[in-house]
């Protein structure tokens, strides 16, 4: 039973890792990759959403520099929430885009700018993950 559990865990971790890509230069999003971690230490980086098919992509700016991640549509007529592109400018700011035809929708919120250190309704501590979601630990 221990071997089976180890194999399941190994498969689960490797399957998750295969869906995340760290990029340092502009690229067109690949349907096989669900999440792009973008390092902009050497300059602005664009992630182009594909022109065809449904799907979803999460793009996260992982570096703390002043450069920008630009999320744009590969197809000129396509839009993201009605815009030609969206930008990520601060570390851990993230956006998840889903598509219906040539229209991409950005699911918000993006990064929360600041958090209190404790939750007045519990003994837990608030923390924010890399996608911008707030969780309570402890308590």
Domain boundaries, the chain: 26-112
Q: For the segment 32-89, what is each residue's pLDDT rounded down to a tens digit?
A: 999 999 999 999 999 999 887 668 999 999 999 999 999 999 888 888 888 989 999 9
Q: Report residue 4's pLDDT band, with 50, 70 and 90 as the boundaries.
A: very low
Give me the pLDDT at residue 17, please.
44
Q: Would the CA dihedral through 18, 19, 20, 22 be positive or negative?
A: positive
Cα atoms found within 13 Å of the Cα of residue 52, Cβ hemisphere only: 1
- pTM given for the model: 0.66
Q: Does domain 26-112 have CATH number 2.60.120.640?
A: yes
Which one has a higher pLDDT value, 107 or 85? 85
Q: For the segment 18-33, what is each residue's pLDDT rounded down to a tens digit?
A: 599 999 999 999 989 9
């Amino acid at each position: 039973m221990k071997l089976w559990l180890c194999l399941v865990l190994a498969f689960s971790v490797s399957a998750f890792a295969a869906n995340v890509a760290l990029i340092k230069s502009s690229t067109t999003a690949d349907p096989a990759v669900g999440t792009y971690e973008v390092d902009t230490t050497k300059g602005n980086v664009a992630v182009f959403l594909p022109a065809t098919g449904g799907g979803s992509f999460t793009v996260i700016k992982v570096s703390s520099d002043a450069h920008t991640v630009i999320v744009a549509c590969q197809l000129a007529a396509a839009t993201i929430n009605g815009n030609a592109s969206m930008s990520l400018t601060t570390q851990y700011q993230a956006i998840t885009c889903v598509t219906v035809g040539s229209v991409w929708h950005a699911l918000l919120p993006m990064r929360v700018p600041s958090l209190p250190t404790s939750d007045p309704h519990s003994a837990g501590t608030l923390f924010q993950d890399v996608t911008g979601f707030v969780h309570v630990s402890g308590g």
